[in-house]
Structure 1
Amino acid sequence: MSKIRVSKLKSFTGHRDCIYTLERSSEPSLFFSGAGDGLVAKWNLSDSEDGQLIAQLPNSVYALHFYGPENQLIIGQNFEGIHLIDLTVNKEIKSLKLGKHAIFDMRSYGHMLFAGTGDGTVFVIDLSSWQILKQLRNAEKSARSIAVNPKQGEVAVAYSDNRIRIYDLDTFALKYVVEAHNNSVFTIKYSPDFRYLLSGSRDAHLKIWDTAKNYQLADDIVAHMYAINNIDFSPNEKYFVTCSMDKSIKVWEAESFKLLKVIDKSRHAGHGTSVNKLLWTDYNNLLLSASDDRSISVWDINVNL
C-alpha cells in the first residue's frame, strides 16, 4: 500500500482578495494566479520572491487559460469578457466581450477556446480570428467547469443546474445530458486515459462516470464535508487530488479511487478557509493550492510504495 508524506514548503502571498484560479505556463516552475482583487500574477516555484504582475483588472478573475502554441495567457474578467496577453512582451493584444456575466472556466482544443459563463452559455471562440464561432445555450444556470476529451471527440460542461452536458467536439451537437448531482456541479476532470470523467459538486460528492458506457455512473463517493471546488491529477497519473470549501485537500489513488491522505490546517498547517483551486505541477512533483485566505500553498507530495 502506498504511503504518502506531505510537507508544506512555503506560501506565496500578495493578492488582496480570495484566489480563485491557478494556471500552468510553458515552464514547469512558472505558474499564474487570478483573484477577486482583479490581479493576475506570475510566480516562480524556484524563487521565494514576490510574483510578477501580469494584469490588473477592475473585476474578479475566476478563469485563466494558457495557450501554449502562441505563448499567450487568456484572462476571463467577470462581467466583461476575455483578454489576450502576449507573455513574450507581457502586453494585452486583444479583448472580446462575452456578455455581462461571470466567466467560470476556459479550455482550448486546437484553435478553439471554450468559455463557460454565469448565464449558462458556452462560447466557442476561434483563437485564430478571435471571433465567436458558436454559443451553446442549453441551460439557464452557470456553466462552471469544462473538460475536453479528444480521444472520443467530446467536450464536457458542468452546470449549476446539477447536470453535466456532453457535446460533440466537431459539430457542437448535444450528445448526452447526465443527471449528475443533487446540487451545482463545480468541477469536472477527465482521467488521463479518458476512461472516466470525474465530477465534484456542492453536494460534497465525488462521482466517477464511465465514458465508454455513455457516462454511466461507476462510483459515488462522499468525499468531503462541503462543496468540492476542484480536481487535478498527478504528473505520473497515478493519483489525483480534490479540494473543498471544508478547507481540506485530499489525495486519492487514481486506479482504485481510494482515499490516501487528508491535508488540512490541524495536521499540515493547511488553509484556514475554502480551498478553491489545485495545480499539481511537473516541477519536483509540487502541488499548489489556492484559497480564500489569499495565499497559495506549495506542497511536497512524497509517495513511498
Structure 2
Amino acid sequence: MHVQKLDTFGGHRDSVYTLERGTQPDQFFSTGGDGLVVRWQLSRPDMGELVAQVPASVYALALHPVSGQLWVGQNYEGLHLIDPVQKRETGSLKLTSATIFDIAFHKNDAFVALSDGVVVVLDAVQLVVRKHLKASDQSARCLAINPVERELAVGYSDTTVRIFDLETYGLKRTIPAHTNSVFTVQYSPDYQFLLTAGRDAHLKVWDVEQQYSLHQDIAAHLFAINHLTFSPDGDLFATASMDKSVKIWDAKTYRLLKVVDRARHAGHGTSVNKLLWTDYQHQLLSASDDRTISVWKLS
C-alpha cells in the first residue's frame, strides 16, 4: 500500500477535534477548540470558509441527512443548528451544561452523548426531548447506530459499551469492553461486528450476531485510540491515536497494513483526534491537536 499526503488544511487557532462530511462529495466541515466551524473543499484546498462561530470548544458536529442542517454541540451551552448554505443559526437548544461528546441520527431521532453519562434522545424535527438514557455516572463518549438490529451502541468512560434498543430505548446489554475510557465505537459496514477502542490503546472486535462475544483483541497503538472509521467501500478501516499516528487496517482480517506518521509521511506532530474517509477520490482526512487537517491518498 502506498500512502501520499496530498494537502494540509490550516487556519484553526486551536486543536481540531472533529470532522463531518459536507453536502457535496468534495466538501467537509471541521471544528474544535476555537469554536470555529469551517467548510472546506477538497477540490480547492485554499477555499476554507467560516460557516459559524460559537464561544466555546466543540467536540461534536453532525450533518442532519434530511434537513442538511449542521448540528453543533457547544460545550456547556447545548446545541446550535446551522444552515451551512445561509451561514446562519436556525435553532438552538439549551440542552445541558455538560460537555457534548457525540451526536448521531436515526430516522426522526437525534442521540446526544453527554459528559454526565446521559444520552439524550431528541425529536430531530421538533427539537424536543423524548427520553434521557441514564446508565452511568461517567461520560457517554461515543455513539454508533445499527439499523439492521435496531440497536444503539454507546461507549462510556466507565470502560463499558452499552447496547440500547432503537425502538424502545431500553438497555439490552452491557459489555465490559475495555480497561479504561471508550472513545470510539463503529459498526462494520455489514453490521455484523462492532469495533471499539479508547484510552487503553486496544482495538476490540465484537461479534454482533453472537451476543457481542469478543472476536478480536488487538494491541493497536502505543497510546489512546481517539477514533476509527471505515473506507467507503468497506475494505479498510483507519484508527487515529494520541501516539500521533494513523494506522490503516484490512477490514476482513484486521491485519495492520500501514502506519502513517510524521517520520515516514510528514504526518501530525501531536495527537490525531478524528478521521473522515470521504467519497471524494477515497481521500482520508485526519484532524489533530497541531491545528491542522491532513489529506491522504491511499493506493
Q: Is the shorter-chain TM-score for this pair beyond 0.5, marking a shared fold?
A: yes
User: 2-side partners of 1:117 and 1:278: how far apart?
Assistant: 21
Question: Is residue 2:235 matched to residue 1:238?
Answer: yes
**Alignment match, 1:299:** 296
Cα drift, residue 26 of structure 1? 2.1
**Alignment match, 1:147:** 144
Question: Is residue 2:109 matched to residue 1:112?
Answer: yes
Q: Give per-residue Cα distances to partners, 1:100-139, cap 9 Å, x unaligned.
A: 1110000000111000011111000101111010010110
Query: How do 1:66-105 residues align onto structure 2 when only pairs under 5 Å count?
Result: 66-105=63-102
**Alignment match, 2:123:** 126
**Alignment match, 2:195:** 198
TM-score, length of structure 1 as denominator length: 0.97
User: 2-side partners of 1:77 and 1:107: how far apart?
Assistant: 15
What SS does structure 1 have at the residue aligned with 2:44?
coil
Question: Is residue 2:28 matched to residue 1:31?
Answer: yes
Query: How do 1:147-296 residues align onto structure 2 when only pairs under 5 Å count?
Result: 147-296=144-293
AA paired with 2:217? D
* Structure 1 stretch displaced more, 81-90 or 67-76: 81-90
What SS does structure 2 have at the residue aligned with 1:203?
coil
User: 2-side partners of 1:121 and 1:220: how far apart?
Assistant: 28
> What RMSD, in angstroms, separates the aligned Cα atoms of the two structures?
0.7
* Structure 1 stretch displaced more, 225-234 or 86-95: 86-95
Asked if 2 retains the 8 angstrom alpha-carbon contact of 1:14 and 1:50, the reply is no
Question: Is residue 2:15 matched to residue 1:18?
Answer: yes
* Structure 1 stretch displaced more, 50-59 or 159-168: 50-59
Asked if 2 retains the 8 angstrom alpha-carbon contact of 1:25 and 1:68, the reply is no
What SS does structure 2 have at the residue aligned with 1:7?
strand
User: 2-side partners of 1:129 and 1:12: how far apart?
Assistant: 36
What SS does structure 2 have at the residue aligned with 1:266?
helix
Question: Is residue 2:43 matched to residue 1:46?
Answer: yes
Identity %: 53
What SS does structure 2 have at the residue aligned with 1:85?
strand
What SS does structure 2 have at the residue aligned with 1:267?
helix
User: 2-side partners of 1:50 and 1:142: how far apart?
Assistant: 36
Asked if 2 retains the 8 angstrom alpha-carbon contact of 1:273 and 1:293, the reply is yes
Runs of 4+ in 1 over 6 A off after TM superposition: none
Structure 2: gaps of 5 or more residues: none
AA paired with 1:245? M
Cα drift, residue 98 of structure 1? 1.8
What SS does structure 1 have at the residue aligned with 2:121?
strand
User: 2-side partners of 1:10 and 1:87: how far apart?
Assistant: 24
User: 2-side partners of 1:13 and 1:202: how far apart?
Assistant: 27
Asked if 2 retains the 8 angstrom alpha-carbon contact of 1:13 and 1:50, the reply is no
Q: Give per-residue Cα distances to partners, 1:272-295, cap 9 Å, x unaligned.
A: 000000001010110000000000
